[in-house]
Structure 1
């Protein structure tokens, strides 16, 4: 069954990039690339069997010759960017017609479960792959965008809908004028999703927020392919030649360099590779949480973690839970992100589970994305590991043991409230340790006064929005 996606109230992958915040912040995420969120497209789950498959070209899609929400097949196109995975496990990749030129590029959005399957099969598209793709052609519009612009995309819902048929050379990026592809430019629609180059531009605003900066002509430069670490930050006045696909989100057209190779005139590190010889990452097999948390597992692998114990209920958003190795101790916990909760998964503390999913670092917090039915299998029950008593200073932001106890069930004892709840509901106890409402509805979350005391507070230690935070699971975890 393919998923049909309504073209309203949706945002493109740059919007999908990184906002399955494991903390219970009430704010919509604004970390990372401009206006990023991690809400995959909602679906109607309508079958398309017999609904008509239309052979077309990217040129026709980008020139409005095909009706949106049509199931299309595009043949003999070339991958021109790495496949970038979001925190939810969804993928995005840019493709172009072999002849290049105007209207030759489009973005593919790969659903999380499909992306996981492609990873497991070692079939993630990479630069230089020649493809035939089948998917639903949609015009996306960000939910908070009041303008008229939309962004063309093909949604991939089945692993077999991406067929790697060979290799091909990517078209040479055309050199364009920055004002022509900046907001309001005459050629933005023409070059949407096409890899283009702007030459000898100067940095005119070094920090627009969210990892973006601006160059000559008002053109924004986005760090999509450098997330979650963040992209280069050239200072004001730096002269650059930049290359990358032109994307649109949150009311702005932006150039997105794919790696440091796309930056000429500034030394940088990071970004996705554009090397056509790069092998796609496949399944790694059985590993332990200790392996993951101590850096022995490369990010982006599909992993299997066996016989671990669930230590929390589902979060209030029902999009994840925490597990630990039964041995407990340092480096024994990890967060499992289940996105939109396939098949209404309902695990309980004490369940013993085996998990298969994509390991990623979501803004420096380790997680496994279990995006499809069968990725979490309950195999029995066991005692939840006892919380480890720690000092607040050791696990607060900057604390000596914070990394060691990430996602581990811990307790702090005989603590005093040092700061009342902020606009996100977070409040602070001794030594700057924050408390987060990840498991609570806003109305149920306690908001104590400065000077109030607790004999103990228990919960998994989470990391989000640049801070470590303790997340009580229930009211019983807040012992007065």
Structure 2
């Protein structure tokens, strides 16, 4: 038995030996292909989520002492003194097959858990436009050394990043393809990260700390994602720990809770009288109830909707608690904290019916917002329309009757049968009929069976003569269509009426043999609809549209130009040939045509092509209508991180504005350029430029001097600007970091989440940007350097007189007494000394005000100095 056992033991060790030998051979065979270190992962994420990973794929341990990672900021070159080259020297030994991670000290904890070295210098705080080089034996004085690997092109500032929107060095995690075994040692080549790197969405940390073969991310939207709750925002919005489709904000689908954003609190006595207080009251109840269902740290399943993102970029989904499968969206509806809210497409009809049955039962049982005792005065979508001063625009359909109503007639449809449509064309396409009388519209013609005799009215946006007849592109508020006739003399801008039979010409819908007439000459021109390449299709066929930020890629023999915007490629039909391959255009307008099997934009003339919007003042941007595309330059005066992006307060000589963007390397004091459409976020004017449309014009130009104002000057004309208010007192704080203050002209509010001011304190000055939220303007200081407090006991007698004039003698004497009692020794008869001195000071203040004699100033100083001699040692 022992002999047999011994044989088995020998065989076992022989098996282990052979296995280890094979594994060693395998490792060595891979290691032999690596001659030195490589950069194996690069993280340029939100906020301070920055990291660089090195990998030792050789067969030997590597001493890191001779290696350095150097960040070349904003186009800095290898020439000493040309820009900033920020060196990070390394240390330690890196074993074969191991990684070494450098990270910003304020990065996400997942990164820090894998980091070997951390810090907050510029070497750690790189951006997408900073080249990064791994050197051996680097000399910081000459900027020379042996190049081991690199990211980017040294000496070049690409603007925002190297690469394209799919694979870039900004707002992405890049993992080196496992087949790459040697570094990029050419610092001057045209760098394209897609050649050697696999791109993952912003703040992907799954692969840091190891270097293995990884699968590229699927662009496919999954039905479900498992995430952890980070925080509750309000009754129908949460943040999760990891992005889904690049976003961590989840907006609950199929339902709508009352809003809370419009004011900091509510008055109990007004919740039945004032719709704003009613909304806030029920909104807080919904938030509290959701907080009882979900807590930070809870694991949830996010079931993404048919349209995964809303117009604000938030993920739309149902949030299901994994521990017991509770659908929190549905639960809020069942308990009366939310109304159902379905915007077409509604997805599964089974799900639709489940929610509508739930809201019907909640109404019958008078739960929550449906209560007779404390009903919600306005449904959330009605409240938003009124409060934000935006007209209702969605048509409202009744899923039971198949009829649809005008936006303002939403109350004609019960909540448990309510579906919202963006326009009539979509409602008609889905088989709904209007519940109101109206004139025929083009949408009717577009949804009628081919061969139907129709009549339409609309405005001509373009005309093309073809084979002896004219194709008129005609549009009304609902849709566009081609009217083909040889019996009409009309021009672009004319309003016409046309009757004829619908037909398709190579699949493009038109009215043929039309009997047409001009109703009105030179009417108000049709404005183009701004779309992206993904929208180009039948829903906008024959309409006048515009696409922004268009790059021309190529052209074929038929003058069909392949172009791309931020969302993908499309075709421009330009027989006149006034586009140039390789150029990028701010905006291209044209009618949507269909030929040779694809939709194309057809510009009407060179006037439809805008190469670049001219630079405009910020004042112009502020005065333009909302949704106007503007191009501004200005200096960053403040930057606040909020909601996954930065609010950059930017101003020029004319005005200020908020530019909301991802971090792009700019700092306070830098001059930047930005192009985008104006919009309001809860009343605050802002622009949100695409990544290609924001850049640094000049580093370190300096922050302009703040404008010195008094509280009565606060208003829209100063919104977004840096201002200073002098000599004020902070009275109270509302529990939401809003501090009520008073100066010589009246009251104002200080917004300081970091508590840079305190209640019952005097201040010599405060500097900050003027922002707007919760229905009022507020000064937002940037740091403690923006706030200068007054110590009354250290002020001169003349300053005390000025404070007394501003705030009144009684108020000032009270403050002096408070400071004195805190400052001096209160033993013995000191309290009597204080009362006596204050009596003399008050009399001296009155006498000085009446006479202006300096003797009374000296009396004030004498009394204060006498008291201060009693200060505790």
- Richer in helix (by share): 2
Name the TM-score, length of structure 2 as normaliser: 0.29
Name the TM-score, length of structure 1 as normaliser: 0.49
Higher relative contact order (CA 8 A, sep 6+): 1
